[in-house]
Amino acid sequence: MRALVTGATGSVGVELVSRLLADGGDSVEVHGTTRMMADREPDSVIWHQVDFCSSAESWDLPDDVDYLICAAGLPSGKELLHKVDPEEINSILAVNLIGPIALSQKYIPGMLSRKFGRIVFVNSIWGMRGSPANSIYNISKHGLTGLTRSIAKDYAQSGITANEVCPCAIDSRMLMKIAERVARDEGEPVADVLDSWRHAQVGGRFVTPSEVVNSIMHFLHDSTGALNGVSLPVDLGEIS
């Protein structure tokens, strides 16, 4: 079993890598991507430094995998569409959408030859519904849903499945970085920003990385081959 986890040093990525190693034992070979090698953990992962904003030909990646889990993602600056900087547009689309497309193209041929493959994308509830002043992020995540459903339809008879998990706000390092930026911009304490966001969640709390990983792992099992093209909310009931 060979697996590639993008964004493997993020909060979800770290948890997922640990779970893959624990569940697969000696039979699993886990590759992880990171933008900065200094952030890597644990040592048993084969690490690849990848800048998804660069040309795909320059990416240092394994030749073939059975499991592709795309957890890398970038948030947007929370601006209206006509105010978004072109550089931000390019970077968000590169990481959130173009990267997963390129990786799917790279690894689907090998999956076809083995008649088996599991692809899971970490999306967002905003890929299912959209949020205000968040246009490029929304676009990237809606595109990821289209990619999920296209792969599911096109390869349904080939032993390959593609699904996505769509969390609400995750209690993660990324959420903390966003909160710190908002707190600076608005002159508020970070704790107050986080509290307001937490209370805005329908469940009154953020979801945990472990809860997201539980859903990802469910799609990876051999016994879940009938689950294909699914957009699974992991959101405490927000979308319902």
pLDDT of residue 172: 93
Backbone angles phi, psi at 170, to 5 degrees: -100, 140
pLDDT of residue 160: 97
Looking up tokens 């390869």, which residue turns up? 155
Task: Report yes or no: 216 and 165 within 8 Å, Cβ to Cβ.
Answer: yes
Question: If we measure between CA atoms, which residue out of 134, 137, 60 comes closest to residue 94?
Answer: 137
d(CA 174, CA 9): 11
Looking up tokens 């990324």, which residue turns up? 174
First-residue to last-residue Cα distance in the chain: 36
Task: Report yes or no: 58 and 72 within 8 Å, Cβ to Cβ.
Answer: no
Residue-wise pLDDT tens for the chain (240 aa)? 899 999 999 999 999 999 999 988 778 899 999 988 777 777 789 999 999 999 988 999 999 999 999 999 999 877 899 999 999 999 999 999 999 999 999 999 999 999 999 999 999 999 999 888 899 999 999 999 999 999 999 999 999 999 999 999 999 989 998 999 889 989 999 999 999 999 999 999 999 999 999 999 999 988 889 999 999 999 999 987
Which residues face 29 on adjacent strands?
2
Which residues face 67 on adjacent strands?
3, 118
pLDDT of residue 69: 98
Task: Report yes or no: 135 and 80 within 8 Å, Cβ to Cβ.
Answer: yes
d(CA 191, CA 169): 15
The per-residue DSSP string of 26-68 comes to GG-EEEEEES-GGG---TTSEEEE--TTS-GGG----S--SEE
pLDDT of residue 76: 84
Strand order in the sheet with 231-234: 46-49, 29-34, 2-6, 67-70, 117-122, 160-167, 231-234
d(CA 112, CA 105): 11
Whole-structure pTM value: 0.94
Amino acid at 171: D
